Amino acid sequence: MIKASANIPCPCGSSLKYKKCCRRYHQGALAPDALTLMKSRYSAYATGNADYIIKTTHPDNSDYSEEKQD
Ligand SMILES: [Zn+2]
C-alpha cells in the first residue's frame, strides 16, 4: 500500500506528484471527465482512500470497473 503523501508520484500514472494531480479530486473537486475520474479512482484505491471510491461509485452503476472502459 502506498502512503498517501502529497509528494509521491501520483499512482494514476501521470508524471505529476499526487498533490498536483489526483489529490484535488480526493479532496472534493469534481473530475472534469471520465478518464480523470477513472484515474483519480485508481489513485484513491492505490492510496487506500476507500471513501472516495465509494463516493464516486453510482448506486445504479455499482459494477463499474476500470477493465470495462471502452
Ligand atoms: Zn493522478
Written as nine digits, the cell of 54 is 465509494
Give the phi and the psi of residue 20 in degrees, each rounded to 5: -95, -5
Enumerate the β-bridge partners of residue 17: 9
CA 33, distance to chain mean position in Å, is 12
Spacing, Cα 46 to ligand 1 middle (Å): 11
Q: How far apart are CA 70 and CA 66, in angstroms?
A: 10
Burial class (CB in 10 A: 0-12, 13-18, 19+), 26: buried
Spacing, Cα 60 to ligand 1 middle (Å): 25
Spacing, Cα 38 to ligand 1 middle (Å): 10
pTM: 0.74
CA atoms within 13 A on the CB side of 41: 17
Spacing, Cα 14 to ligand 1 middle (Å): 6
Summarised one tens digit per residue, pLDDT across range 9-65 is 999 999 999 999 999 999 999 999 999 999 999 999 999 999 999 999 876 654 555
